[in-house]
Amino acid sequence: MLCQIGRRLGSCNKIVSSPSLPSARVLFARFGWPVLGTFAVLASGMAYFLWWGPVVHSEPIWLPPGDIWGTIRSSDYAVWGYFGGIYSAGAGLVTFPGILLALAPVVALSNFLRLSVDFPYFMPHPTAWLLIGPYVFLIGCLPLFALDAAARRLGLSMSRRGLLMACEVAAIWQVLVLWGHPEDTIAIGLACYGIMVAYDGRWVASGWLFGVALAFQPLVLLVYPVALLALSRHESIRVSEFAGMIARSVVVPAALLVVPLIASWRSSTRALLDQPNYPGVDHPTPWMVLAPRLRSGLAASALRGNLRAQAASSYHHPGVTGPLARGLGRSRRSLVGSARYALREEVSAGPPRALALIVGAVTALRLRNLNKDPLAIAWLASACLALRCFFEPVMVSFYVWPAFAVALLVAAKRGIVRLLSCFAIGIGASVWGFVNTDAWTYWLVLVFLLAAMLVAAGAGQRSSGRAPRSRQGPVPSTEASPIPA
């Protein structure tokens, strides 16, 4: 069906290059697929939130993503002017505060309308998500636009881009709808744009884009060496311009972290450097041996208190009746047990993640001769993002998504068979992330699947490094570069 739509619309390159055609067709050629993908995530995400509990589980509850409420609470603190306490108030925030500012307007409106939230007390119908949810899905779909722009500049046909977008929507779905981590998707989208403009030699724009991306999620440091590698293909770029790009990348996150660091140095540095994680909640891997054990501090105590509050409130909630009330009654002991036991072991994920950053930088340096090949740069970005999963001491299923999303782009350029193979393996790795087994089996299977995904996406002949030409006609001058601005 996607192929038929693409053939009827004709070549994307012809549409974009012909100013006499209607502007609606021009806009659809550029943004049609990511807009449709965003709508698909929004519609399916809200449908899941409203109807999965009543229809599938026969329980009168709504199902928002569980991890988003701690971020919303931290955004509440920022809205209230308590920006210095975003890491010390026990909401569990361990990333940079860019997402708090992005959510602040809609969170402030939710507070003004007195909508209910699912934190720290359980609410069967958190009405705030009716307002915040669509906004989160919309801003979280930024990488769909970035990856489609890259696909357009790599010369993919309209139908191939549609198939790629369908795969990207399926890949990003769990990150936004099941887990609620728009900061990850926004950061990856901005990083993709940053690499693209670095490839074009626009080091100022690339520096600012990576600065904003870092303000959302520091994991984009994994692909920062790839951006520098893409920039290095321009022999006219001087050392001072590399330094300028790096300086611009530091300004935005540093400005956002000044107040929290001054107000609460210990809690802020603990959250940002130690990166606390809980193997009793998520899945441990053999890299736990490099993860220092942390003493139970404020964050763990607050999380325990929140779980105990949820257990007590859900058990006595007057609006919960029938099977749900009985289920919550039975689960009260398990919720309290989770608070006491699942969080009793707290480890620092910071050192293994730092090791992944070092390996990624060394890998990019060793492969610096690939800086003129845009497809190789994209594959290298996917491989660097996969290093997080290779070295992560405590894994969560959605950690697979960044490498998966970029690998799909590379596979789409190689061919439809490669794209579908990469998609199947990536989905398998994402599903495996939910499996509960011993640490070694879990990690070995996950690494094998990710390696197979990278091979499926990147094995074969290298691209020429030149802008590909469409079968229907020449690539217009505005689209000549293989990587978009």
Give 177-196 pLDDT, tens digit per residue. 999 999 999 999 999 999 99
Question: pLDDT, tens digit, for every residue of 467-476?
Answer: 444 333 443 4
* 32 token code pair: 């049609």
DSSP summary character for residue 174: I
Ordered alpha helix ranges (H), 154-220? 158-173, 182-199, 203-216
138-147, 218-227, 273-282: segment of lowest average pLDDT: 273-282
- Exposed / middle / buried, residue 22 (Cβ in 10 Å: 0-12, 13-18, 19+): exposed
Percentages helix, strand, coil for the chain, rounded to the nearest 5? 70, 5, 25
- Exposed / middle / buried, residue 68 (Cβ in 10 Å: 0-12, 13-18, 19+): buried
Mean pLDDT of 160-189: 95
Percent of the chain at pLDDT exceeding 90: 54
Q: Which residue has 């293994």 as its token pair? A: 352
Mean pLDDT of 415-442: 94
Query: What is the structure's pLDDT at 344?
Result: 60
- Length, in residues, of the chain: 485
Parallel, antiparallel, or unpaired: how do β-strands 394-395 and 293-294 relate?
unpaired
Displacement of CA 221 from its chain's centroid (Å): 13
Check pLDDT > 60 for residue 485: no
Task: Choose the most confident range, by mean pLDDT, from 80-89, 231-240, 292-301, 410-419.
Answer: 410-419
Query: What is the structure's pLDDT at 460?
Result: 53
Mean pLDDT of 250-256: 94
Query: What is the structure's pLDDT at 267?
Result: 87
**In this structure, are residues 299 and 402 in contact, taking their beta carbons and an 8 Å threshold?**
no
Query: What is the structure's pLDDT at 461?
Result: 47
- Cis amide linkage into residue 120, ω under 30° from 0: yes
Check pLDDT > 80 for residue 308: no
Three-state SS for 90-146 is CCCCCCCCHHHHHHHHHHHHHHHCCCCCCCCCCCCCCCHHHHHHHHHHHHHCHHHHH
Residue 379 to residue 134: CA distance in whole angstroms: 32
Mean pLDDT of 27-38: 90
Question: For residue 111, which amino acid is it?
Answer: N
Question: For residue 72, which amino acid is it?
Answer: I
Q: Give strand pairing partners of 348.
A: 276
Residue 4 to residue 299: CA distance in whole angstroms: 53
Query: What is the structure's pLDDT at 4?
Result: 55
Which helix (H) or strand (E) segment is 14 a member of? Answer: helix 12-17
Q: How confident is the model at residue 459 (pLDDT cuts 50, 70, 90)?
A: low
Residue 247 to residue 239: CA distance in whole angstroms: 12
pTM score: 0.83
Residue 21 vs residue 279, higher pLDDT: 279
Strand, coil or helix: what is 294? Answer: strand
Displacement of CA 93 from its chain's centroid (Å): 15
Residue 415 to residue 466: CA distance in whole angstroms: 18
Residue 215 to residue 364: CA distance in whole angstroms: 23
Question: pLDDT, tens digit, for every residue of 45-97?
Answer: 999 999 999 999 888 999 999 889 989 999 999 898 888 888 887 788 889 99
Check pLDDT > 80 for residue 428: yes
Mean pLDDT of 310-339: 40
Mean pLDDT of 417-438: 94
Check pLDDT > 90 for residue 311: no
**What separation in angstroms does the CA of 175 have from each of 129, 131, 185, 400, 416?**
16, 19, 8, 10, 25
